[in-house]
A = this chain, B = another copy of it.
Amino acid sequence: MKPILHRRRTLRDVAKAAGVSLSTASNALNATGRVNRQTRETVLQIATEIGFMPNALARGLLSRRSFTIGMLTNDTYGRLTLPMMAGVSESLVDHGISVFLCATNNDPRRAQLHLQALLARQVDGIIITGTRRDLTPAVELSGLPVPVVYAFAEGPAQTISFVPDDAHGARLAVEHLRSLGRSRIVHITGPMDYLAARIRAAAYRQICGDASEVRYGAWTEEWGYEATQAIFSRAGDRPDAIFCGSDEIARGVIDALRDLELSVPGDVAIAGYDNWEVIARQTRPPLTTVDMELKEVGRRAGLAMLALTRGEEIAPGVVELPCRLVIGRSCGG
């Protein structure tokens, strides 16, 4: 298939058709300078008639702003990136900014390649997103000629980052469980080398005090199953609630409880984390879980970027954004 590539219309076409000069046509379209009302209307009408659309390349060349930004992600799966992307887009599309998405696949060489390409394209800024908040970027980013913002990843000192408030998320879940009368709550979560896991565990410990018990492992269903088996096979008091570090873990936990012939939430209440809809909503019972509001994280990062590209100053630091508790049926109440 060979598409008909009719040459795109330029300002010159508009000017010629309207019988005015380039500058007048430009002024008319942008409502700048001094243009007679009648003239302006003629130009506007002709512009829409022939489908004129200003060439963003030429514009960017002149203004030294491309009205584009780059987003570098190492997420191959998309579960974190796309919601954030939606937030970024949402905050920027109305300001005429488009987003280059670059998947690095955790390959430093590829990341470097993408970065070079973005800079060559004169992006106005770069947003780095990670799959965990304590991941060092695969590429050197200091001394760039454009502002950098981190989303779902903590940048180095003197940079700006937006991350979910893990402590807040953990408190939401744990306090919800306690408000429902549960007192023997254990916490099954992911690997200890995840900063997010440690922060959530600390928040949980602060609330539950001496009664607290944290089990670090993996972000998998299997680990949730295994940990639950271990917990319920030993002697002594049995927990009446489990706060899980992810919805996948929660799912494994519920599976194990079913095999142990314990009811959820009757015998044990379960709280998840992530609000990964496909899991959370389809688990039986549907999970009560913590939503990290990734879209909002993206939106805030986009807004910060917008301010920076305008030359406004923003205080560096890590901004922690509140989470939201999604009520399912796994905690009862």
**Residues in chain A within 8 A of chain B (CB atoms):** 1-8, 53-58, 60-61, 66, 68, 75-79, 81-83, 85-86, 89, 93, 96, 98-103, 105, 110, 113-114, 116-122, 143-148, 158-160, 220-222, 248, 251-252, 255, 277-279, 282, 284, 308, 311, 313-316
Residues in chain B near residue A143, CB distance under 8 A: 4
* Complex interface: chain B residues within 8 A of A311 (CB): 2
Known: A78-B81, A105-B86, A121-B98. A308 touches B56 (CB 8 A): no
Judging by beta carbons under 8 Å apart, are B86 and A75 in contact?
no
Known: A102-B98, A116-B53. A282 touches B5 (CB 8 A): no
Is the Cβ of A57 less than 8 Å from the Cβ of B54?
no
If A56-B120, A82-B103, A222-B282 are given as contacts, then 20 extra A-B residue pairs at C-beta distance below 8 Å, sorted by A number, are A1-B158, A2-B313, A3-B308, A5-B145, A8-B145, A57-B60, A57-B61, A57-B121, A68-B121, A76-B83, A78-B83, A86-B103, A86-B105, A89-B102, A93-B113, A96-B117, A98-B117, A99-B101, A100-B100, A252-B282
Please judge, given known A-B contacts A86-B76, A279-B278, whether A93 and B122 are in contact too, CB under 8 Å. Answer: no
Chain B neighbourhood of A96, CB < 8 A? 117
25 pairs, CB–CB < 8 Å, chain A vs chain B: A1-B147, A1-B158, A1-B315, A1-B316, A3-B144, A6-B145, A8-B119, A54-B120, A56-B122, A57-B121, A77-B79, A77-B82, A77-B83, A78-B81, A82-B103, A85-B101, A85-B103, A93-B110, A93-B113, A98-B117, A100-B100, A222-B282, A248-B278, A251-B282, A255-B284
